[in-house]
Amino acid sequence: MFCELTPVGDSLRVTKGQFQCDVFHPFDVFGFDSGTSALAAAIIAVKESAQQIAEPEVIVPGYTCPDVLSACQFAGVKVKLIDFEENLPFINLSKLLDTVNSSTIAVIAINFLGIPERIIDIKRTLSKTNVVVIEDSAQGMPLGNVDNYWKGDLVTLSFGRGKPLGLLGGGAVLKSKSSKFEVENSNVVNESALAKTKYLLKRSIIKVLSIPAFYFWVTKLPFLKLGETKYKKLIEINPLSEIIASRLSSAIVGYQSLDDHQDELHKMISQHKDKGLIDFYSLIPSDIGHVIRYPVLLPSEQKRDELYTELQSKGLGASKMYQKSLIEFSDIPNDLILGESDLENAKSFARRLITLACHNGVTKRHLDAMNHCISQVF
Ligand SMILES: Cc1ncc(COP(=O)(O)O)c(C=O)c1O
Angle at 227 between CA 375 and CA 32, to 5 degrees: 130
Report the C-alpha gap between 110 and 127 in whole angstroms: 19
Alpha helices in 55-113 (DSSP H): 67-75, 93-99
Contacts of 171 (CB under 8 A, 6+ apart): 31, 32, 33, 34, 35, 36, 37, 38, 39, 138, 156, 157, 158, 159, 160, 240
CB of residue 70 inside a 6 A radius of ligand 1: no
- Is residue 304 over pLDDT 80? yes
Q: What residue segments make up the domains of the chain, in order of their start?
A: 259-377
* Helix pair 364-377, 301-313: axis angle to 10 deg: 140
What's domain 259-377's superfamily in CATH? Aspartate Aminotransferase, domain 1 (3.90.1150.10)
Encoded amino acid at 42, one letter: A
| Per-residue pLDDT band at 350 (split at 50, 70, 90) | very high
Q: How far is the CA of 317 from the centre of ligand 1 (A)?
A: 20
Answer yes or no: are the C-beta atoms of 3 and 315 closer than 8 Å: yes
When the pLDDT of each residue in the chain is averaged and rounded to a whole number, the result is 92
CB of residue 67 inside a 6 A radius of ligand 1: yes
Report the C-alpha gap between 159 and 345 in whole angstroms: 29
**What's the pLDDT at 148?**
86
**Edge-to-edge strands, sheet with 278-279:** 278-279, 294-297, 353-356
| Per-residue pLDDT band at 49 (split at 50, 70, 90) | very high
CB of residue 33 inside a 6 A radius of ligand 1: no
Q: How far is the CA of 158 from the centre of ligand 1 (A)?
A: 6
The residue whose CB lies within 8 Å of the most ligand 1 atoms, and thus the one to mutate among 33, 36, 235, 319, is 36
For the residues 10-38, what does the mean pLDDT come to? 81
Tell me which of 307 and 226 has the higher pLDDT.
307
For the residues 39-49, what does the mean pLDDT come to? 97
Q: How far is the CA of 291 from the centre of ligand 1 (A)?
A: 15
Q: Whose CA is nearest to atom 16 of ligand 1?
A: 65
**Interval 229-275: pLDDT, tens:** 899 999 999 999 999 999 998 898 888 888 789 999 999 999 998 99
CA distances from 143 to 151, 195, 232, 253, 257 (A): 15, 31, 31, 9, 8
**Interval 127-142: pLDDT, tens:** 999 999 999 999 999 9
Contacts 24+ apart (CB under 8 A), 20-26: 20/248, 20/249, 23/248, 23/249, 23/252, 24/146, 24/172, 24/174, 25/146, 26/146, 26/147, 26/176, 26/177
Beta bridge partners of 107: 59, 133
**What's the pLDDT at 276?**
92
Q: How far is the CA of 42 from the centre of ligand 1 (A)?
A: 14
**What's the pLDDT at 188?**
81
62 φ, ψ (degrees, to nearest 5): -70, -15
Report the C-alpha gap between 195 and 233 in whole angstroms: 24
Q: What is the CA radius of gyration of the chain?
A: 20
Q: How far is the CA of 102 from the centre of ligand 1 (A)?
A: 28
Pairing type for strands 57-61 and 278-279 reads unpaired
| Per-residue pLDDT band at 18 (split at 50, 70, 90) | low
227 Rama class: left (phi>0) / alpha (psi -120 to 50) / beta: left
**Interval 100-117: pLDDT, tens:** 999 999 999 999 999 999
- Is residue 13 over pLDDT 70? no
Atom nearest to 159 CA in ligand 1: 10
**Interval 160-202: pLDDT, tens:** 988 999 898 999 999 998 899 999 876 788 888 888 889 888 8
**Interval 52-103: pLDDT, tens:** 999 999 999 999 999 999 999 999 999 999 999 999 999 999 999 999 999 9
Report the C-alpha gap between 42 and 183 in whole angstroms: 7
Report the C-alpha gap between 130 and 112 in whole angstroms: 25
List b or e across 58-95, with b for residues whose CB sees 16 or more CB atoms inside 10 angstroms. Answer: bbbbbbbbbbbbbbbbbbebbbbbbbbbeebbbbbeeb
**Interval 305-345: pLDDT, tens:** 999 999 999 999 999 999 999 999 999 998 999 988 899 99
Q: How far is the CA of 348 from the centre of ligand 1 (A)?
A: 22
